[in-house]
A and B are shown apart, each in its own frame.
Chain A
Amino acid sequence: MSYKKPDDKDLEAMIGIVGKNYATNNAAICASYLAKSVMGLESQIPDIVVRPRYAEEIRKILLYCSDEKIGVSPISAGLSGGFACPLLRPAGVLLDLSRMDRIIEIDEKNRYAIVEPGVTNGQLWSYMETHHPDWAPPIADGAPPAATVMGDAIDRGFSLYTSSVGPQGDNFMCAEIVFPNGDIVRTGSWALPFAKPFYKYGLGPDMWSFLMGSQGAMGVITKAAVKIYPHPEHKTVITWGMSNPYDMQDLTLEVAMQEFGISHNTVMVQGGNYPLVMARWPKDKVPHDYEFFKSMGIPEWWMNWECWAQTKEELDYVVKRINSMAEDFKKNRAKDGAAMKPQELHPKQIASRLRKPNKIAIPYSFWEAGFLFITWYTPWNECAHFAEMYCAAMEKNGFPPVMWIASIERARQAICMPIICFDSTKEEDYIKVQDMNRETTEYGLKQGWLNYRPDPFIHAPLTYSQAAMYWKYLRAFKKLVDPNMIMHPGRLGLP
């Protein structure tokens, strides 16, 4: 596939669509959109940046770029430190959707919020706390306040309610999408002109799911309806510490397999190991020995259950029940029961863990200079195996073995995220990270684990080479909506 490098005439065309204040090829402005961290190490400086405000402007931009065979990469405004940045040269047009920042509707009875792509977690959270204090949006936990609600959704990842209700993508009901062929499509019940966005699987097969996980490779989502949930007063965090990931995995599974009741009260279930605390500080300014962290009361491994309930009685019941299940597990089934104990959290620690959106995932650059999240889905009861394998790989390569694991949909899946803390000023560190990435990917795929938010040069080719039929239909769908294949090929490597 070859693309045209946009020139001054193309910039004029963009200005004709959005106005002179919102399209530029200013070299400094274009460079400012780079991001080579957290979610991916590859990105190129765009040739033109355009900041549209309306879906119709986007439609015109896409039609023009499709005719001219200019690549287009949409970014919502922020995504935990990464963008769907251009990967190939010429880098083409970058659509910065941050001006599309309208919170269009909040419907408490039907329990959804309609937002544009530029609406940030911080913006929606503050707005709802002020105007709809009994309800909260499913913002991505750990995603910083400037990350967008929609950007994180399209990643399908982990959010405030996903341990209870399922992947973040499932929290999205309906969407409005502009395709490069010039069509504006509304999905789910929204396909009918006067319908509310109350049902995701509206008119036959669901088209919205084609967009989920697409990383901007299919079209531009200009509006979406996201579920909102009660925001009750009664909340707490239960934490149990243990010496190994297997006890963490198995206890969590026992609680989650209750399915009803307490499993639904545990809105966020996430854990990890002590390097998750250690690597938040500069490498030469914090002890590396576990004994220090032990003296600070930090377990080697732990699991947090964030519990929400409508009444104090209900919350007390949930806490009591989880603790009694944990005690029973410790006594009868744990690998290392002696090391298992509940953590007494100070009210300030609980408050800090309950805070959303937060900056918890940001400071891993403090260790050296740069970090990368490499995220995988595994069946829940294989997450300890994953953790063991990946921690060993990180240690072998000289990286701290930082591991975060969360339950999705009552431990049907695990989202496993090694955090690779490295020195991004050094080329050799980049190479080491990618070598480890390749090695672990080959291993992971043999286990049947899935990479989510793939690296376009490692995960995507290794994965799709084993799923040729799926790849064929993904390409066919893309060809249907994007006949000249101009949309950001993205991390999926599409085309």
Chain B
Amino acid sequence: MAKTGMERLEGLKSDIFKCIHCKACRFAYSGEPSRKGIGEYSGKQGTVLYEGMVDACPAGIEYGWEAFWNAGKIWIARSILTGDLEFSEEVRDVLMPCITCGMCSAQCENKVRTVDIIESLRAACNEAGVPMIDKHQLVDRLVKELNNPYGGEANERFKWAKDAGLEKFINNKEAKIAYYVGCTASYRQVEVAIATAKLFEQLGINFTLIEDEVCCGSPFFRVGAVETAQTLMKKNMEAFKNVEKIYFSCAGCYRTWTIDYPKWLDEGKIPFETKHAFELISDLIAIPKKKKELPAKIEELKGKLKDKPDKRLERQLKGMEAELERIKDFKGEIKFKPNKELKGKVVTYHDPCHTGRHFGVDFEQELIKQSDNLFLDMRKLNQKLEEWFEKPRTILKKLQENVGIVFKEMYRIKMNSMCCGAGGGVRAGYPDFSLKTASLRCDEANAVGADILTTECPFCWRNLSDANEMYKHGMQVMGVLEMIQKYDLMEIIEKPEV
């Protein structure tokens, strides 16, 4: 990957020139004007009509000027490339409040890689000598000194593990599986770290916490401090070189390792398998079920095909057989225990942008790269997205079935999920705007009567939780795995082999 922001921007020139300024990117569900929703709701941040397409670009909603919506920024990028505009503090100040949530990218019919463009613009702006905003300078300095942006001492990174009786996992040399905890769960939302590690322990997974772990660099890739980010990336690559698989509990770290690192490494890939912890828990529910159900479905299809050949059914049969072959050796199964305290509680789920939409957009870009006939191949994308977004929902639906929670979806979900407001350097740089955005999301959870707002990212957790308190939304904010661990819900039917 070209390393300077300007080189990257040049590399994205044809994407930038694809933008026709149609502004569909300002909405969630921009292609679904008649989508049935939950009606109008008046929350702490005003009234929103959750029907059809809904404004969903946080910076655009907050600042209003065209420059703050995505399309405006793409035309700023074009002006930079054509020499009509030069980098300045004015330019920086309209680029930085973007949360890089990627809603715009998900809506774009011309498949413009908006997040890459904005990150490249920020890097180029920085390289052009325009100073970062003060708050970003501060976190940049902190991470350079302490390897985390919170100012925590390096030797306190795993204090939570020691306090929770999980010390034996620190630098566990025998383990080939690592849990990369990340800075937010290490220094702030330790509940998430403890819950994840304890679930691993309960499942009998021999894992390691690597003491030399440093910040993944996500905030620095996002705000354009790419030298800082690359230094951190290199430290992590060295620290984790002896493991084969890494689990994450933070959406941002997971995205950075899985999507960013390969782009910045000369090799173009990382030598580990990466997974979010919720994928493991979800697989332990979904795959055993599938293993049980698939053989009967295959037989039924074969029967139908015996009576009447049908190409579509034949393709379906092939797919099912391949899937059964893929999962046949999978080991492990869990279910959940009933819980009186949780029974009847309305639980909703916030898709973190970094584990949700950013992966969705990455799947799409990968498909575009690989395909030689997108007219046919694009049809595969929806199924892949559906499977991906179903993973956390598999857990929540099982919790509904076994525990008795009432799982209710918010209006904007999956590829159209509204951001929590924390990412892209915005929580650090623009805390008031960041919390207002989180409160908008909390309004949406209130609109479905949620008692508990769950997510799978400690950074989303923090922002949503702060907004929940500050604006008095009256919910509990919790990680899904945190809920499972806190209420001791997991019952192991068969231990996994991972």
Q: Is chain B found bound to chain A in the same assembly?
A: yes
Chain A residues with a Cβ under 8 A of chain B: 24, 26-29, 31-35, 37-38, 45, 49, 51, 78, 80-83, 96, 98-99, 121-122, 125-127, 129-130, 144-147, 277-278, 281-282, 285-287, 296, 355-359, 362-363, 365-366, 368-371, 423-425
A425 to B14, CA, bound (A): 7
Q: Which single member of A31, A99, A126, A366 contacts B51 (CB below 8 Å)?
A: A126
Q: Give 10 A-B contacts (CB < 8 Å), ordered by A residue.
A: A26-B90, A28-B88, A51-B65, A82-B20, A278-B375, A287-B373, A358-B31, A359-B30, A362-B20, A366-B18
Q: Are the C-beta atoms of B34 and A370 separated by less than 8 Å?
A: no
Residues of chain A lying within 8 A (CB to CB) of residue B78: 34
Q: Are the C-beta atoms of B110 and A366 separated by less than 8 Å?
A: yes
Q: Are the C-beta atoms of B18 and A362 separated by less than 8 Å?
A: no
- Please tell me which stretch of B21-29, B131-139, B345-353 contacts chain A, meaning at least 4 of its Cβ atoms lie within 8 angstroms of it: B21-29
A385 to B376, CA, bound (A): 33
B470 at the A interface (CB under 8 A) = no
Q: Are the C-beta atoms of B65 and A27 separated by less than 8 Å?
A: no
Residues of chain A lying within 8 A (CB to CB) of residue B85: 27-28, 31, 45
Residues of chain A lying within 8 A (CB to CB) of residue B64: 51, 98-99
Instruction: Find the residue from B23, B39, B372 having the highest chain A CB count within 10 A.
Output: B23
Q: Are the C-beta atoms of A282 and B368 separated by less than 8 Å?
A: yes
Residues of chain B lying within 8 A (CB to CB) of residue A365: 17-20, 110
Q: Which single member of B33, B90, B373 contacts A145 (CB below 8 Å)?
A: B33
Q: Are the C-beta atoms of A366 and B33 separated by less than 8 Å?
A: no
Q: Are the C-beta atoms of A31 and B76 separated by less than 8 Å?
A: yes
**What is the number of residues of chain B that contact chain A, defined by CB distance less than 8 Å?**
54
- Chain B residue nearest in CB terms to A37: B20
Q: Which single member of A26, A51, A127, A356 contacts B94 (CB below 8 Å)?
A: A26
- State the 4 A-B residue pairs at the shortest beta-carbon distance, nearest first: A32-B72, A126-B52, A146-B23, A32-B67
Q: Are the C-beta atoms of A144 and B18 separated by less than 8 Å?
A: no
Tell me which residues from 226 to 261 in chain B have a Cβ below 8 Å from any Cβ of chain A.
none
Minimum CB–CB distance for A86 against chain B, Å: 13
A84 to B61, CA, bound (A): 23
* Given A32-B94, A34-B78, A369-B18, 17 other A-B residues pairs in contact with their CB atoms under 8 A: A29-B72, A32-B72, A33-B66, A38-B20, A38-B22, A78-B22, A122-B33, A130-B51, A144-B23, A145-B33, A146-B27, A281-B374, A362-B20, A366-B110, A366-B111, A370-B17, A425-B17
Residues of chain A lying within 8 A (CB to CB) of residue B154: none
Q: Are the C-beta atoms of A146 and B14 separated by less than 8 Å?
A: no
Q: Are the C-beta atoms of B49 and A126 separated by less than 8 Å?
A: yes
Residues of chain B lying within 8 A (CB to CB) of residue A83: 21
A236 to B93, CA, bound (A): 49
B157 at the A interface (CB under 8 A) = no
Beyond A31-B85, A127-B49, whether A424 also contacts B17 by CB under 8 A is yes
Residues of chain B lying within 8 A (CB to CB) of residue A130: 39-40, 49, 51
A83 to B85, CA, bound (A): 19
Residues of chain B lying within 8 A (CB to CB) of residue A282: 368, 374
Q: Are the C-beta atoms of B94 and A366 separated by less than 8 Å?
A: no
Q: Are the C-beta atoms of B75 and A31 separated by less than 8 Å?
A: yes
A127 to B53, CA, bound (A): 10
- Chain B residue nearest in CB terms to A44: B84
A423 to B79, CA, bound (A): 17
Binary interface encoding of chain B residues 49-60 relative to chain A, with 1 for a CB under 8 A from any of its CBs, else 0: 101111000000
Binary interface encoding of chain B residues 367-401 relative to chain A, with 1 for a CB under 8 A from any of its CBs, else 0: 01001111100000000000000000000000000
Q: Which single member of B13, B32, B49, B76 contacts A32 (CB below 8 Å)?
A: B76
Residues of chain B lying within 8 A (CB to CB) of residue A96: 65-66
Minimum CB–CB distance for B106 against chain A, Å: 12
B91 at the A interface (CB under 8 A) = yes
Q: Are the C-beta atoms of B110 and A286 separated by less than 8 Å?
A: no
Residues of chain B lying within 8 A (CB to CB) of residue A366: 18, 109-111
Q: Which single member of A24, A29, A31, A287 contacts B84 (CB below 8 Å)?
A: A31
Q: Are the C-beta atoms of B18 and A34 separated by less than 8 Å?
A: no
A127 to B52, CA, bound (A): 9
Minimum CB–CB distance for B78 against chain A, Å: 7
Q: Which single member of B18, B34, B76 contacts A28 (CB below 8 Å)?
A: B76
A29 to B110, CA, bound (A): 23
Q: Are the C-beta atoms of B73 and A32 separated by less than 8 Å?
A: yes
Instruction: Find the residue from A38, A146, A370 having the highest chain B CB count within 10 A.
Output: A146
Q: Are the C-beta atoms of B66 and A29 separated by less than 8 Å?
A: yes
Residues of chain B lying within 8 A (CB to CB) of residue A34: 21, 75, 78-79, 84
Q: Are the C-beta atoms of B374 and A31 separated by less than 8 Å?
A: no
Minimum CB–CB distance for B35 against chain A, Å: 9
A121 to B26, CA, bound (A): 13
Minimum CB–CB distance for A118 against chain B, Å: 11
Q: Which single member of B34, B40, B71 contacts A355 (CB below 8 Å)?
A: B34
A83 to B374, CA, bound (A): 31
Q: Are the C-beta atoms of A144 and B76 separated by less than 8 Å?
A: no
Residues of chain A lying within 8 A (CB to CB) of residue B75: 31-35
Minimum CB–CB distance for A25 against chain B, Å: 10
A424 to B18, CA, bound (A): 8
- Chain A residue nearest in CB terms to B36: A129
Minimum CB–CB distance for A279 against chain B, Å: 11
Beyond A28-B85, A35-B75, whether A355 also contacts B33 by CB under 8 A is yes
A286 to B72, CA, bound (A): 30
A371 to B111, CA, bound (A): 15
A280 to B15, CA, bound (A): 15
Residues of chain B lying within 8 A (CB to CB) of residue A35: 20-21, 75
Q: Are the C-beta atoms of A286 and B374 separated by less than 8 Å?
A: yes
Residues of chain B lying within 8 A (CB to CB) of residue A359: 22, 24, 30-31, 109
Residues of chain A lying within 8 A (CB to CB) of residue B40: 130
Q: Are the C-beta atoms of B13 and A425 separated by less than 8 Å?
A: yes
Residues of chain A lying within 8 A (CB to CB) of residue B39: 130
- Chain B residue nearest in CB terms to A139: B33
Minimum CB–CB distance for A390 against chain B, Å: 21
Residues of chain A lying within 8 A (CB to CB) of residue B65: 24, 29, 32, 49, 51, 96
Q: Are the C-beta atoms of B374 and A285 separated by less than 8 Å?
A: yes
Q: Which single member of B26, B51, B54 contacts A146 (CB below 8 Å)?
A: B26
A359 to B31, CA, bound (A): 6
Residues of chain A lying within 8 A (CB to CB) of residue B13: 369, 425
Residues of chain B lying within 8 A (CB to CB) of residue A357: 33
A49 to B40, CA, bound (A): 32
A343 to B131, CA, bound (A): 60
Binary interface encoding of chain B residues 85-110 relative to chain A, with 1 for a CB under 8 A from any of its CBs, else 0: 11010110111000000000000011
A98 to B60, CA, bound (A): 12
A282 to B75, CA, bound (A): 21
A365 to B112, CA, bound (A): 10
- Chain B residue nearest in CB terms to A281: B374
Instruction: Find the residue from A24, A34, A281, A296 having the highest chain B CB count within 10 A.
Output: A34
Q: Are the C-beta atoms of A129 and B66 separated by less than 8 Å?
A: no
Residues of chain A lying within 8 A (CB to CB) of residue B110: 362-363, 365-366
Beyond A28-B90, A32-B75, whether A285 also contacts B373 by CB under 8 A is yes
A146 to B33, CA, bound (A): 11
A369 to B20, CA, bound (A): 9
A96 to B68, CA, bound (A): 14
Q: Are the C-beta atoms of B24 and A144 separated by less than 8 Å?
A: yes
Residues of chain A lying within 8 A (CB to CB) of residue B33: 121-122, 125-126, 129, 145, 355-358
A434 to B14, CA, bound (A): 20
Residues of chain B lying within 8 A (CB to CB) of residue A26: 67, 90, 94
